[in-house]
Chain A
Amino acid sequence: EPEVTQTPSHQVTQMGQEVILRCVPISNHLYFYWYRQILGQKVEFLVSFYNNEISEKSEIFDDQFSVERPDGSNFTLKIRSTKLEDSAMYFCAVTGYSYEQYFGPGTRLTVT
């Protein structure tokens, strides 16, 4: 059983548009992570989030990206002005009181 679900499963957007990707944990989790995977490339860390604050972010996570947990349940990744190179699979991951990171099914973002 997945620890987390993600919506939408596929998002197509035009360059310059804002997108919001959502992660919904199934059970109680304290730490949240976003990763992305450009087609044919490695899974790359974007950001980690704990207690309503960013714990760590990568150099990929620039000012165009933001994360929040608006209602105490959903965890969102916003890209303010999408670029062609933002096209990728975006994965949410969670940990709870075990330290393993469990990944969601991903959102495929296509920027045209």
Chain B
Amino acid sequence: QKEVEQDPGPLSVPEGAIVSLNCTYSNSAFQYFMWYRQYSRKGPELLMYTYSSGNKEDGRFTAQVDKSSKYISLFIRDSQPSDSATYLCAMSGDLIDSQGGSEKLVFGKGTKLTVNP
């Protein structure tokens, strides 16, 4: 079983739709969960960052983590054409120390999203 699984899509939705993106993982040591947005041939841009289980909301974006099911989600409300990109989930285990060090990120393959006007 792969460590992080993510449906690659592609996913195509009309403008204004609610988008749901998901990842599953197998390593129960993961505690930090991130969603990145990546445009073609660009660096991943951090969207959301959550620790352990629960929800986090930031504008039109909501991240959910269910550690018991090893399942994380990103919801995008009122999707816009500018949201069209590849969305990557990433996760890591414990922090290394109090100086800001985090363990390596393990990424999903990414879901390509297109929002049509």
Contacts and interface: CB of A to CB of B under 8 A. Distances in A.
30 contacts: A30-B99, A30-B100, A31-B96, A31-B99, A33-B104, A33-B105, A41-B109, A42-B108, A43-B44, A43-B90, A45-B104, A45-B106, A56-B103, A89-B41, A91-B43, A91-B44, A95-B100, A95-B102, A97-B100, A99-B95, A100-B49, A101-B102, A102-B46, A103-B36, A103-B46, A105-B42, A105-B43, A106-B42, A106-B43, A108-B41
Contacts of A55: 96, 101
B100 A98 contact: yes
Contact of B45 (A48, A89, A103): A103
A45 to B, nearest CB: 4
B72 interface: no
A44 interface: yes
Given A29-B100, A43-B88, A102-B46, 20 more contacts: A30-B99, A33-B104, A35-B105, A41-B109, A43-B90, A45-B104, A93-B105, A97-B99, A99-B95, A99-B102, A100-B46, A101-B102, A103-B43, A103-B44, A103-B45, A105-B42, A106-B41, A106-B42, A106-B43, A108-B41
Interface of B: 32, 34, 36, 41-46, 49, 88, 90, 95-96, 99-110
A31 B43 contact: no
Interface in A31-70: 31, 33, 35, 41-45, 48, 50, 55-56, 58
Given A30-B100, A31-B100, A106-B41, A101 B46 contact: yes
Contacts, number: 74
Nearest to A28: B100
Interface residues of A, number: 32
Contacts of A25: none
Given A30-B101, A56-B104, A104 B43 contact: yes
A96 interface: yes
